[in-house]
Structure 1
Amino acid sequence: MSTDNNNHGLEEQRRRKAESFKLNIRDNYDDDGTSYGSSEPEEISSYSGEEVKDQIARESKRSLKKRQRQEKRELKARNKRNRRIFRIAWIVSVLIIAAALGAFLITGMNDLLAINRKDDSTVTVQVPKDADIGTVTDALKNSGVIGEPTYFKLYAMVTKNNTFSQGTYELKKNMDYQAIITNLQGTSNRTDTIEVTIIEGQSVLEIADKLEEGGALGNKAEFLQLCNSSKFDNDFDFLKNIKNPGERYYKLEGYLYPDKYEFYVNEDPASIIYKILNNYEKRMAEKQAFDGYEKLTSVNKMLEKSDDGYTLDEIMTIASIIQAEAADSDDMYYISSILHNRLNADSSEGVSSLGLDSTKYYPYRSKDKLPAEIAANYKSRYDTYDNTGLPPGPICNPGMEAIKAALNPYDSSYYYFCHDSNGKAYYASTIGEHEANLEYIK
C-alpha cells in the first residue's frame, strides 16, 4: 500500500512540474508568440542575433578570401605551366620553321644559281600567248630547266620579271634564273620562225592578209592601225618628213619594202613593222643598188627634193604607180617617162590628169575587192581620173627596180600607154595614137 502511495506521489509531482513549465512559457509570450515582459531579455536576445550574423558574415568573408587566394594560387600555377608549355611550343615551332626556311633557301639558292643542275643539254620550252608566271613556271619545271618552281616564281616577282613573250624557246638545263628570264624575254633563242615573202606591188592590206595567213601576225587590226600612225616617225626621218599624213589611207604605204623576211609566230605587229622599215632604210642607203646612178646615194639626200625636184615621198608614189602598172622591167622605165611627162605637161598637151586605173579603188586592188557595205558609192581620194597631179601617197609597196625607174625615166615623148591581154605594152604621144592602140588590142 505504501508503495502504491509513493508511486502515486511521484506521478503527481511530475504532473505539477509539467504544468508549471507550460505556465511559464505562456507567461513570457503573447498568444501570437510574441515575447513580452521586461526589455532586458529582449535586448540580450537581439544582441546575440546580431553577433551571430556578424560572426557568420566574417566567417563567410574569410572563407571567400580563402577560396579566392586558393583560386589565385591555382590560376597562377596554371598560367605558369601554360607559359612554360607555350614557350616550349614556340621554340619548337621557330626551330621547325627556321629549319624549313633554311632548307627552302638553300635549295632555292642552289636552283637559282643552277649549282646542282649540271646537265647542259638543250630542251624546248613552249610559252603560249599571254602566259602568266604560273604557266611559264610549269613549262620550265616540266622541261627540267628549273627544280624549284616556288622559288622561281618568288624570284620573278621580286625582280619584276613576270611578263614573257610568246614563242618556242631553246634553253639549256644548266642556266641560272636570270639567264632563263633573259632568254624568255628576248628572241635570240626562239625557234618558232616563219618565212614570209612580201611581193613587189602588194599593198598594206594585202601584206597584212599575207602575214596573218602565214601565222606571223596575230593581230591584223593593230598592224593596220600602226601602218597609219606616227609611232615610227622618231626612228625614221623618211616618215617624219611626210607632209600630208591626214590625207592618206595608210601612212606607211610604199615603205614596207618587198623582200623575204623571217618572223616569229604571232610576232608583235610593231616588231614586224620595225623589221620591214629597217630593211627599207638599209636598201635605200646602198649605193650599189642604183647601179652607179648618182641621184640617190642615201635616203637623206631626197628627204627634201631630188635632182628632178621631187621629194622622196613623191618618188615613192611614182614608183608605186609604176610597180602597179608596168608589165616588166623595161616597161617600168617607159611608164616612168609617161608619168614624168604628164606631171610636167602644160595645158597645151591636153593631159590634165594622170588617169590611172590602179588609183581608182585604192586602198583596194579593184572594184571587186571593195567591201560590200561601201561598194555602191565608193570614191577613192587617190583617184587620178578626178584629181590632178600625184595621189596623196603611194598606192602599193614598190621594189627597187620600180624606184630606180621612178628616178631615172627613159627620155620619150609618150603621154599614153596600154597593155594587151598578154601584157605587151603600147605607147602613144597623142590621144589619137592611144585610141588606135586601144582599138587594136581589143
Structure 2
Amino acid sequence: MSEKKEKRRKKHREKLLERQKEASLVRKIVFVCLFLIILTVAGVGYGSYQYIMNAIGPVDESDDTDIEVSIPIGSTTTRIGEILEENGLISNASIFRYYVRFKNESNFQAGDYSLSRNMDMDDIILELKEGMVYQDYQISFTIPEGRWLERVIELAEENTNLSEEDILEVITDEEYLEELIERYEILEEVILTEEIRYPLEGYLFPARYDFVEEEITVEQLIETMINRTSSVLIDNGAAGSQYTYHEILTLASIIEGEARNDEERYRISGVIKNRLDRGMPLQMDPTVAYAHGEHLSRTTYDHLEIESPYNTYHVTGIPIGPINNPGEASIRAALLPEDHFYLYFYHSPNGDVYFTETLAEHEAVVGQYQ
C-alpha cells in the first residue's frame, strides 16, 4: 500500500473519530437539556401542587382566634371568597371559587360566622353550608330556568309587592336601560330597537331570590338578577370566550329551550358550534316559538315562515338575542360544547333524542316518527 493512501486512510479515521466525538457530545447536550426540561416541568408541577394544597389548607394551624365574618344575602361564591380572603381566613379567593366549583358545593347560607385561621377550606365550606341565616326573609321566591321574561314578571308579581305594570314600565324605560348598559359590562351589546321584544330577556337569572325587606323596588329586583347573571358568567370564564356575553346568553337560551338534561346540553351545544363553524342556519324550533310570541306544542312548516331576527330558520348565525332566561348549566354548556361531528338532532315523541351527522341520516330518523 502506498504511503499516500495510508495517509488518506489515517486522515479519514481521524475525521470519523472526530465526528463520533461530536455526535457523542451532542447526545450528551441533548440528554442534559431534556433532563433539565423534565426537572423544570416536574418542579413547576410540584410547585403548583404544593401551592394549591397550601391554599386549601389552614392559613395558620396554630391560630385558633375567632374571627367574625358576615356573609350578606345573595352573595356569590366569588364574593364569599373575597370576604374570606379579606379577613385572612383563606389565602386566595380565586382558588376558593374554583375549589367550590370542583367539589360542586352550593347552598351557602347568609349570616354571621365565627371562623378561625386554623380551619382548612373544607371546614370553612361546611360551616357556611350549615350556618343559620341571621335574618328572616320577608320575600322569597324562585325563578325556574328557561322562562320567558313575561313569566318572570308574573312570578315576581305573585311573590312581591310589585305589579306587572310597575315592572313592565321600568324594564321598557329606554333611559333606565341605557343607564344599566353603561353600568354593566355584560349588557354592553344589548340592542335597543323595536326588533328586540325585551332587551333584558336572558339577563334575569333564574334562581331563588330572598329579600329581608317587606317591600322592594323594581330596580332592586332587576339589578339583583342582573348581578347574579354577571357573577355566573364571570365564574364560568365567559370573559375568555370567543363569543360576547350577549352571544353566550343567546346560545345558552337556545340550549335551555332544546335540552332535557345536562348530557343533552353539551351535545346540543356541540351541534350548534358545528353548524356555526360551517355557516349553516341553526334551525332550532324554540327560536320559532319565541318569534311567534307563543309556546308551540308542535312546530309546523307554516310556523317556520315567520320573518323575525329571532327565527333561526330565517337568519343564519346567532340570532339577535336570548329567547329565554337560561340557567347556569346551559351557560356552561354554551361555553364548553361537546366535541363531535353531529349536525342534526331529533327529539322523538317517546322522549328519545337522536343525533346524526348527515341530513340523510336525520331524515331517516324523522321518517320513522312522521
TM class, shorter-length: 0.5 to 0.7
1:244 aligns with 2:191: yes
Whole-angstrom CA distance in 1 between matches of 2:215 and 2:294: 26
Larger radius of gyration: 1
Structure 2 counterparts to residues 325-344 of structure 1, below 5 A: 325-344=258-277
Task: Indicate if the aligned counterparts of 1:248 and 1:393 stay in contact, CA closer than 8 A.
Answer: yes
Of residues 264, 272, 277, the one that matches 2:221 is: 272
Q: Specify the code of the residue in structure 1 equivalent to 2:217.
A: D
Task: Indicate if the aligned counterparts of 1:356 and 1:384 stay in contact, CA closer than 8 A.
Answer: yes
Whole-angstrom CA distance in 2 between matches of 1:378 and 1:413: 29
Q: Which structure 1 segments of 5+ residues have no match?
A: 1-188, 291-295, 347-351, 369-374
Q: Specify the code of the residue in structure 1 equivalent to 2:210.
A: E
Structure 2 counterparts to residues 33-432 of structure 1, below 5 A: 193-214=138-159, 216-228=160-172, 229-239=177-187, 241-242=188-189, 244-246=191-193, 247-263=195-211, 267-286=216-235, 290=236, 296=237, 301-302=239-240, 306=241, 309-346=242-279, 352-362=280-290, 364-367=293-296, 380-432=308-360
Change (3 A) 1:396 1:226: same
Whole-angstrom CA distance in 1 between matches of 2:199 and 2:270: 26
In the TM superposition, what is the alpha-carbon distance from 1:258 to its structure 2 partner? 1.1
Q: Specify the code of the residue in structure 1 equivalent to 2:230.
A: E
In the TM superposition, what is the alpha-carbon distance from 1:415 to its structure 2 partner? 0.8
Q: Using the aligned pairs only, state the percent identity.
A: 33
Whole-angstrom CA distance in 2 between matches of 1:223 and 1:379: 29
Change (3 A) 1:279 1:339: same
In the TM superposition, what is the alpha-carbon distance from 1:380 to its structure 2 partner? 3.9
Q: How many residues align?
A: 225
In the TM superposition, what is the alpha-carbon distance from 1:205 to its structure 2 partner? 1.0
Whole-angstrom CA distance in 1 between matches of 2:332 and 2:203: 15
SS, match of residue 289 in structure 2? coil
Change (3 A) 1:225 1:325: farther
Whole-angstrom CA distance in 1 between matches of 2:331 and 2:200: 16
Superposed CA offset, 1:298-350 (max 9, x none): x5x35xxx2xx31121111111100110111000011001101111104xxxx
In the TM superposition, what is the alpha-carbon distance from 1:221 to its structure 2 partner? 2.8
Ranges of 4+ aligned residues in structure 1 off by more than 6 Å = 189-192
In the TM superposition, what is the alpha-carbon distance from 1:272 to its structure 2 partner? 0.7
Task: Indicate if the aligned counterparts of 2:282 and 2:317 stay in contact, CA closer than 8 A.
Answer: yes
Whole-angstrom CA distance in 2 between matches of 1:245 and 1:323: 24
Task: Indicate if the aligned counterparts of 1:327 and 1:423 stay in contact, CA closer than 8 A.
Answer: no
Q: Specify the code of the residue in structure 2 equivalent to 1:242.
A: E
Superposed CA offset, 1:148-172 (max 9, x none): xxxxxxxxxxxxxxxxxxxxxxxxx
| TM-score, normalised by the number of residues in structure 1 | 0.47
Task: Indicate if the aligned counterparts of 1:217 and 1:269 stay in contact, CA closer than 8 A.
Answer: no
Whole-angstrom CA distance in 1 between matches of 2:243 and 2:181: 21
| TM-score, normalised by the number of residues in structure 2 | 0.55
- RMSD after superposition: 2.8
Whole-angstrom CA distance in 2 between matches of 1:261 and 1:389: 34
Superposed CA offset, 1:328-374 (max 9, x none): 1000011001101111104xxxxx41111101131634248xxxxxx
In the TM superposition, what is the alpha-carbon distance from 1:217 to its structure 2 partner? 4.9
Change (3 A) 1:361 1:381: farther
SS, match of residue 179 in structure 2? coil
